[in-house]
Amino acid sequence: MSPKSGTFFALIALAATAAFAGQVCTPDPPRPAGNTGTGLYVAPDTATGQWRLYNSNADEVLLHGVNNNHWDAYGSAAGIPLSGANAVRIFLRFTDPPETTYGYVKPIAAAGMVPIPTNWTTTCKSDALSLQSAVDTWVAQAPVWTRLNSYGLVNIANEWGAAVSASDKGLSWLINNTTAVNRMRAAGYTMPLVVDAGGCGQDAGTIVRYGQMLLAADPQHNLLFSVHVYGSWHYPATAAWMQDYATAMAQLKASKLPIVVGEFGPYNGGSSSSKTLVPTAKLVGDVETNGWGWLAWSWNDNNLPGCMADDSGFSLTVKCGVYTGSDAELTAWGRTIVPMLQARRR
């Protein structure tokens, strides 16, 4: 080798060293055992220990989307892709044939959004039988719903469980959800399972106190915890019964658990008992700063006759969920949320 060629290769080596200087190769987050390898999954970030939601390529997924309250003739989901949402949590009844019910979910996935079906029969209940009944349905219909293993999530039961203020300190939330999660896994559900907080979905304390134990009890360690921000959250709290917003958010963040704010409404909108008392921009900003997802309530929560809605309710759309891109089709709440969604479109 001539001196010149030696110099050439030395320069190549030096350039390569400079190119990679300061770069750290971070391992992909570990996929849960038993997960199919094609769907979403939850795992701890290898650098911070914060649990996050990932896609099949190990890219982080931040959910930003809406709830779809009406799957039936009183609502349309056709316009949701135009909103910029990348996820839709959809309330379902399971009295129709399973393939018919599944048909309400397929268009969401076909539009490139993450479908998150949930069983709404458990809303604000805390008895073991209501949760068991919801899981019975998921298990019986597993051949249909496990198709979501490759591209969706399943929210086991809407707003089920007692709060930590209950006589058993919310321990029944942990015990019964542990049974529910294990039954779902045994039935073949390998996707991340979404578990709502107790206390009508609003009590962050159930997740803070028992979330790590529930995550450990899941054979796949593949859960996403959901809190709903309505009237029990106060900013700031001024009475002992109130849940202080800043404190609850800090505790959830410190838990390092994977969190999604699965429901929230317009600031000071809706009925007095279920107003969201945190300004929307602050709530969404804090949620995203913490690395969590969010889902606004609701695309078509009609509060007027004839499938209509106005600014006094929680609906994002004026008539039956119809949206073709015009602001005139949105309520004031919709005109707040849709631009946020569209700004995050990717």
- Residues in the chain with pLDDT < 50? 1-24
- pLDDT (tens digit per residue) in 4-20: 444 444 433 444 443 33
The answer to whether residue 26 sits within a structural domain is no
What pTM does this model have?
Answer: 0.90
**Residue 29: its pLDDT value, please?**
79
| Number of folded domains that form the chain | 1
Q: Alpha helices of the chain — where are they, by DSSP H?
A: 3-20, 80-83, 98-102, 106-110, 128-140, 142-145, 171-186, 204-217, 245-255, 280-289, 332-343
Residue 188 in 3-state DSSP? coil
The answer to whether residue 307 sits within a structural domain is yes
For residue 304, give the CATH number of its domain.
3.20.20.80
Domain residues for 102? Answer: 41-343
Bridge partners of residue 182, in order along the sequence: none
The answer to whether residue 45 sits within a structural domain is yes
d(CA 284, CA 291): 11
**Residue 312: its pLDDT value, please?**
94
**Average confidence score pLDDT of the chain:** 91
- pLDDT (tens digit per residue) in 70-86: 877 667 888 999 999 99
The answer to whether residue 7 sits within a structural domain is no
